[in-house]
A = this chain, B = another copy of it.
Amino acid sequence: MADKTELRGRQVPCQLCPLRKLKIFRPFTPEELAFVSTFKTGEVTVKAGSSLFLEGTTSAHLYTVLSGISFRYKLLPDGRRQILNYCMPGDFLGLQGSVMQEMQHSVEALSDMVLCVFQREGLWRLFETHAGLSFDVTWLAARSEQMLDQQLLSVGRRSASERCAYLLLHLADRVAEVGLTRSRNTIRIPITQQHIADTLGLSLVHTNRTLGRLIRDRVIRWREQEFEILDRGQLADFAGEEATANVVRPLL
């Protein structure tokens, strides 16, 4: 864990978790909620820009994002960075640390965040006592694999403008889904064009020019690290394919 973090002990009891009100999350039984509450050992607040995980280190914790946004990434020895995906409220983080000792990727907060903290060993108790929740964990893992598949398809086979369009749609949908916006088209994420570039496997300059074209055509608007989709249809045309529909999912 990194610098600017602050432990807050238990705060919101899971039963009252505001995220659970969203229709995108499947309802939990009272019993499941009670268990998750014991599984959760506290909350932590992290400032924008600080690291939640660092490649090559170990972490005893798992997290669920309560609020805020972060991104997962890997670095090459010479500093080239590839952003793997973005983590939104409700996302479960750190499972991959159970495979290898050391984390194989890093995670950095894009905005200020609040995270629920779980102990990695607690996961074992979860599997032993709660088949449903165990399946949920597996389900979440499979889902993030699917999102990686899409991302890989983009980076490998789409043109720069297709990639940009597709990513913006994808981000807009995911943000809207967890209620971080009212219009589904205006997105307020403190994201820079450098992030976009590193997500799409493009250079900063080329990303800027590609976005510039979308801006000039009044398909999107870009201001101060946030963007707005002006013409969803046209953006979808650029993307060539609509992003996949979202699915009701568990929330740990």
Contact = CB atoms under 8 A, between A and B. Distances in A.
Contacts of A72: 149
Interface stretch (A78-86, A182-190, A223-231): A78-86
A17 interface: no
For the residues of A in contact with B, the DSSP-based class is: helix
Nearest to A156: B201
B99 A149 contact: no
A20 interface: no
Contacts of A80: 157-158
A131 interface: yes
A141 B135 contact: no
A138 interface: yes
Nearest to A200: B156
Contacts of A18: none
A99 B31 CA distance: 24
Contact of A137 (B82, B95, B138, B149): B138
B134 A76 contact: no
Contact of A95 (B127, B142, B156, B244): B142
A153 interface: yes
Contact of A99 (B142, B158, B241): B142
Contact of A152 (B98, B135, B148, B244): B148
15 contacts: A76-B153, A76-B157, A82-B152, A82-B156, A84-B149, A84-B152, A98-B138, A98-B139, A99-B139, A100-B247, A104-B149, A127-B134, A127-B138, A131-B131, A137-B138
Given A155-B155, A156-B201, A157-B81, A95 B148 contact: no
Given A82-B156, A135-B124, A148-B152, A247 B99 contact: yes
A240 B76 contact: yes
A248 to B, nearest CB: 11
A145 interface: yes
A149 B146 contact: no
A67 interface: no
Contacts of A201: 155-157
A177 to B, nearest CB: 15
Contacts of A95: 138, 142
A99 B152 contact: no
A96 B134 contact: no
A144 B146 CA distance: 11
